Amino acid sequence: MGVNMRDDTPVLIGAGQFTYRGEIENSPSPLELLKIAADRAVGDAGLLGSVLAELDAVAVIAFSIDAPGGLSKLPLPRLVNPPASLARGLGAQPAWSVYTETGGNSPQQAVNVVCERISKGQSELALVTGAEFLGSLTKRLKAGLGFGGWGDDITDPPVRIGDPRPGVTPQEAAHGLGYPVNTYPLFENALRARDGRSLHDHQARLGALFSPFSKMAAANPNAWFPVERSPEELVSVTDRNRMISFPYPKYLNAIMEVDQSAAVLICSVRKARELGVSEDKWIYLHGCADAADLWHPMDRQDFYSSPSIRLTGERAFQMAGVGLADIDIIDLYSCFPSAVQVAAQELGLALDDPRGLTVTGGLPYFGGPGNNYALHSIAEMMTRLRARPGAYGLCTANGWFLTKQSIGIYSTKPVEGDWIREAPLMIQERIDALPHPEIVERPTGPAVIETYTVVHAREGVRMGIVIGRDGAGRRFVAHTPEDAETLLNLEAREGVGRTGTVGPHPDGVRNLFIPD
């Protein structure tokens, strides 16, 4: 035990995960999923369920159905205030209860915020929890089943934490950039072109990158798709692995239609001792940081880097007093291959690092439970660190489109001295001051492709999305003609760097890029 550890040092004492695979008629409601994860976290800490009534802080990760867009319009009852509903269901009366904004960074950010509150004496016992239920929801809608028990009578809106801004501008949305399956391939094609890799060689690289993730998922009892797949199987386009958006077939995409929940119980060292939690359960957050890149995709300096990952990584290592070589266990947020590659690049990791890059199996194979994936990675990290006393674990979490980043460094080793979280604004000011290209909303004339993707429907190619530069070097977004010849040609040979002409689309809303 560190002799200089303060009583108000935050410590994670319990973690719980749940994956429902039963009959759709018996699928748990969102509130039930949260309760199951909370109960499992309490049991993991060696405590009785009654301790949940003592919670003075509750943070619930936003459900996907509450995100802006089509899901928010689905005809089903809702929990207007999930943290209040959960607190009532647990018999708790927390002084602080919050619901996060949309973003896969939210679980790590919530843990960072809760730990800061505990270090300042504002909370003693807190629960961070989240759930995703798009799997049962979509099946219930298709089967015409009801949603009894999914809503309640609480009508006061929740307090929310996180950045509420939409992930894209109206113009970006009009061109399809509001969908991760369209936008992450833009990063991927930019990475390939920057490295001068052929289309074939790069696909092989993607298979080699994610095959070990699927192997990890195959051994994980909580994984949604516990199937190990070879590199070739992951990138070979078949009826079961159709192309989604070039160059990603289905097996390289995060899958959100899952039923999974997770929770972590966090308290002060003082409270952990009071509760009698065995110290071999304690996990400390040694380093953390939060920041966002230049907010909209079109504003980025390029499409193959992330200053926010680099800077939050630097800050988290500095706070923890360790370096990358001291990290023993790693989980990189893995919604798509480009997210893993950029994070590894910015943190100084090799893609074949012998430590591995996931503890769960990743979002395409473990499952992509909406905004809540990172809470599963934190829960799994806690289990692994307990089995390796003194080891350090690194978790990254990513929201929107390589936009919002949160990082945590964990260990059983006690934190000595004051636990101090640096204000995120310290990093954010540096990022916001970065120079970036001028954007033109209505480009005309000669142009060149900076990056691109081809979006597929089940029946074949559907549309091309191009981000390019006009003759003055200004950045624009456009669609291509939708004829199969144009679209397939962009998949047959490198599109980055190809020239063409850009102008108004016949619909009067979008831009149209016609390749030479």
- Is 113 within a domain? yes
- Please indicate, yes or no, whether residues 88 and 147 belong to a single structural domain of this protein: yes
Please check whether residue 462 lies inside any domain of the structure: yes
Residue 70: its pLDDT value, please? 78
Q: Residue 369: pLDDT above 80?
A: yes
Judgement on whether residues 451 and 509 belong to the same structural domain of the protein: yes
Q: Residue 431 domain-assigned?
A: no
Give the DSSP H or E segment for 78: none
- Residue 300 and residue 399 share a domain: yes
User: pLDDT category, 438, cuts 50, 70, 90?
Assistant: very high
Domain membership flag for residue 212: no
pLDDT band at 74 (very low <50, low <70, confident <90, very high): confident
- pLDDT (average), residues 279-286: 98
pTM of whole model > 0.75?
Answer: yes
Arithmetic mean of pLDDT over the chain: 97
Same domain, 366 and 480: no
pLDDT tens-digit map of 291-322: 999 999 999 999 999 999 999 999 999 999 99
CATH number at residue 472: 2.40.50.840
Range(s) of the domain holding residue 327? 10-167+255-421
With beta carbons less than 8 A apart as the criterion, state whether 447 and 501 touch.
Answer: yes
* 21, 73: one domain: yes
| Secondary structure element (H or E) that encloses residue 99, with its range | strand 96-100
- Percent of the chain past pLDDT 70, that is, above it, reads 99
Q: What is the mean pLDDT of residues 438-449?
A: 98
CA proximity to 288, closest of 58, 96, 130, 114: 114
- CA-angle at 393, arms to 124 and 383, nearest 5°: 70
pLDDT band for 68, please (50, 70, 90 cuts).
Answer: confident
Residue 332 has pLDDT above 50, yes or no: yes
223-268 pLDDT per residue, tens? 999 999 999 999 999 999 999 999 999 999 999 999 999 999 999 9
Q: Per-residue pLDDT averaged across 114-125, rounded?
A: 98
Q: Do 329 and 362 share a domain, yes or no?
A: yes
Within a domain: 59: yes
| Whether residues 360 and 478 fall in one domain | no
| Number of domains the chain contains | 2
- If we measure between CA atoms, which residue out of 209, 213, 52, 31 comes closest to residue 127? 52
Tell me the C-alpha distance between 287 and 319, whole Å.
5
Say if residue 185's pLDDT is above 90.
yes
> Pick from 430, 148, 116: which is nearest to 268 by CA?
116
pLDDT band at 1 (very low <50, low <70, confident <90, very high): very low
Q: 475-504 pLDDT, tens per residue?
A: 999 999 999 999 999 999 999 999 999 999
Same domain, 402 and 450: no
**C-alpha span between 209 and 81 (Å, rounded):** 40
Q: What is the 3-state secondary structure (H, E, C) of 384-397?
A: HHHCCCCCEEEEEE
Would residue 89 count as lying in a domain?
A: yes
pLDDT higher than threshold 70 for residue 3: no
What value does the mean pLDDT take over residues 407-416?
97
- The verdict on residue 120 lying in a domain is yes
Count other C-beta atoms under 10 Å from residue 387's C-beta: 9
Confidence category of residue 73, pLDDT binned at 50, 70, 90: confident
Q: Interhelix angle for 337-347 vs 307-320, to 10°?
A: 50
Nearest CA among 26, 237, 46, 11 for reference residue 124: 11
Q: What is the pLDDT of residues 49-66, one digit of tens each?
A: 999 999 999 999 999 999
Average pLDDT over residues 400-412: 98
Judge if 413 and 469 occupy the same domain.
Answer: no
pLDDT of residue 2: 44
